[in-house]
Structure 1
Amino acid sequence: MKRHRLDLHDPSRAKDADLIPRAVVAVSASSASQSWEHAPHTHRKGQLMYTLRGAIHCEIEAGIWIVPPQCALWIPGGMPHAARGSGAAEVYCLLVDPHAANALPPQACTLAVSGLLHELISKAVSFPPLYEVDGAQGRLINTLLDELAMAPIEHLHLPMPQDPRLRRLADSLLANPADKATLAQWAVRIGMSERSMTRLLLEEFGLSFGRWRRQLHVILSLQRLAKGESVQRVALDLGYENASGFITMFRKAMGQPPARYLADRAGASSANAALAPAAIALHPGS
């Protein structure tokens, strides 16, 4: 099957897709081994980044997003964003024209990809850029858009604050996620009262400090687990006494322990079946 490819190190190619007069332009993007990073940029069309292998970290005004295997990040058209990844990655990218994106979320979000949606995207990647709108390929694109609009949202978003004092807190924890300082200790560090800090956290994050830090740990752990690191190593680096404590936190946040969460997504399509054994072996009983 011929696939239209895009080098993840060359974002200018994605801008070319903005000019193609079709509802969806689908390409397969890859990175062999080295790290890569794209500076903040925008597309006229909305962009869907569907990760098959590896994990992608994306920064948008509202926060940080992680795209582990078998998930997709939807970024509406015109929204500035920056992306980076490390190591081998395989991604399918869809550029969706604004007129075709009416049923898709108006805000950035991470979407779960079903087996059917995976197959539709995989097929669309083989289409020529100027496929026949009124033919079989055009009908499949319409079905793809319908399925995409119904895809469930995954909670893989880390909101980032605008207040400079809270931003210092967030940046410090991103740099040292194992820091176990209490809310009161953080209030002193950033020059606020504990009460004011609690109120402002809820206003900016919509989350308590504890829930935001838990979401941070989920985001960071998924980036590393998707690269094959062990649960034990990740748990210790995030400041947990043992893997069991980390697994309990992850299950509470995501509804599944980390190995099962990754294994379910790795096994959701035959294209990703090879990832499942590695995910299951992350930690015995996790």
Structure 2
Amino acid sequence: MPEIRHLPQAPTGRRPLAPGGGIDAHRHDTHQIVYACSGVLSVTTDAGTWVAPASRAIWIPAGTVHEHRAHGNTDLRLVGLTGDPLGLARPAVLAVEPLLRELIIAYTADPGDGAERDRLLGVLLDRLRRSPERPFHLPTARDPRLVAVCAMLDDDPADGRTLAQLAARAGTSDRTLARLCRAELGMTFPQWRTQLRLQRALLLLADGVSVTAVAHRCGWASASAFIDVFRRALGYTPGRAFTL
């Protein structure tokens, strides 16, 4: 098992990442905001995976073992925080409005100290506290039957089998599988499958795959159906995903 790096302080700054690049598993004793102002960033812990395009940031609480992965050319910005402005003990995806985006970019571009930088951080934290959560979390299953089903769909998000068909393949019933979804994933099976498909779609779009191809590879019947679900979940169309 690879050694998990321990950092006393969560770093602040800019770290460009090439497609497929990342930061291996580590933890730090202070909180951190991670934000990709270009590309898409995924953060994985033992509880699941969080994905954030440029309209989202990810909150990582102190002590959380996590790893970063870049999808597309990713301009990663890291903000280490010695205080606890949000009071969240779990990772979360937060909305990033235009002012907060510019504050994060400005703060991470200059690693120096001083009164002006302190004021910049103060405004950044004020805006951060006002940022609503935008749930975009794919939880990790524990029960072997649910793990098997999740793995099948992770391998092929376009798999259109029903819950009953997947349950039979995993050696259980659809009722049991539905109960496990609610208990372990905190959502219904259709909600989890949609979340999986949306996350995969974001990663494919970041890699330059066309909207039509993404819709097909992620299980939507048409590009228009995909665009509709994507817009309702993220607030903009797939075509605008990397022009924000």
TM-score of the aligned structures, taking structure 2 as reference length: 0.88
Does 2:139 correspond to 1:156? no
Match of 1:108 in 2: 91
**RMSD (Å) for aligned C-alpha atoms:** 2.3
Residue aligned with 2:187, SS:
coil
CA contact (8 A) 2:58 2:92 kept: yes
- Residues matched between the structures, number: 241
Misfit runs of 4+, over 3 Å = 14-18, 126-129, 251-257
Match of 1:51 in 2: 36
CA contact (8 A) 2:9 2:29 kept: no
Cα distance 1:147–1:34, how it changes in 2: closer, same or farther (>3 A)? closer
CA radius of gyration, larger in: 1
What is the percentage of aligned positions where both structures have the same residue? 34
Does 2:205 correspond to 1:205? no
Structure 2 residue corresponding to 1:249, chosen from 225, 229, 233: 229
| C-alpha distance in 2 between matches for 1:171 and 1:115 | 37
Question: What's the offset of the Cα at 1:28?
Answer: 0.8
Unaligned runs of 5+ in 2: none
Question: What's the offset of the Cα at 1:221?
Answer: 0.7
Question: What's the offset of the Cα at 1:26?
Answer: 2.7
Deviation per residue, 1:42-78 (Å, 9 max, x gap): 1111121111111112212221111112321111010
Structure 2 residue corresponding to 1:95, chosen from 36, 61, 80: 80
| C-alpha distance in 1 between matches for 2:135 and 2:225 | 21
Structure 1 residue corresponding to 2:56, chosen from 44, 47, 71: 71
Question: What's the offset of the Cα at 1:191?
Answer: 1.3
Match of 2:106 in 1: 123
Residue aligned with 2:239, SS:
helix
Question: What's the offset of the Cα at 1:34?
Answer: 5.0
| C-alpha distance in 2 between matches for 1:127 and 1:256 | 31
Deviation per residue, 1:76-108 (Å, 9 max, x gap): 0101112212442111111112xx114343221
Unaligned runs of 5+ in 1: 1-10, 19-24, 267-274, 277-286
Cα distance 1:158–1:36, how it changes in 2: closer, same or farther (>3 A)? same
Cα distance 1:118–1:251, how it changes in 2: closer, same or farther (>3 A)? closer
CA contact (8 A) 1:64 1:157 kept: yes
Deviation per residue, 1:96-128 (Å, 9 max, x gap): 12xx11434322111111222122222212433
CA contact (8 A) 2:160 2:219 kept: yes
Does 2:206 correspond to 1:221? no
Deviation per residue, 1:137-164 (Å, 9 max, x gap): 2222122122112112122211221212
Match of 2:155 in 1: 175
CA contact (8 A) 1:104 1:149 kept: no
Match of 1:15 in 2: 7
Cα distance 1:140–1:252, how it changes in 2: closer, same or farther (>3 A)? closer
TM-score of the aligned structures, taking structure 1 as reference length: 0.76
Does 2:12 correspond to 1:26? yes
Deviation per residue, 1:5-41 (Å, 9 max, x gap): xxxxxx97x93744xxxxxx5301102x452243322
Mean CA deviation greater in 181-190 or 103-112: 103-112
Mean CA deviation greater in 179-188 or 149-158: 149-158
Residue aligned with 1:162, SS:
coil
The one-letter code of the counterpart of 1:154 is: R
CA contact (8 A) 1:110 1:153 kept: yes
Question: What's the offset of the Cα at 1:199?
Answer: 1.2
Cα distance 1:75–1:174, how it changes in 2: closer, same or farther (>3 A)? same
Match of 1:3 in 2: none
CA contact (8 A) 2:72 2:206 kept: no
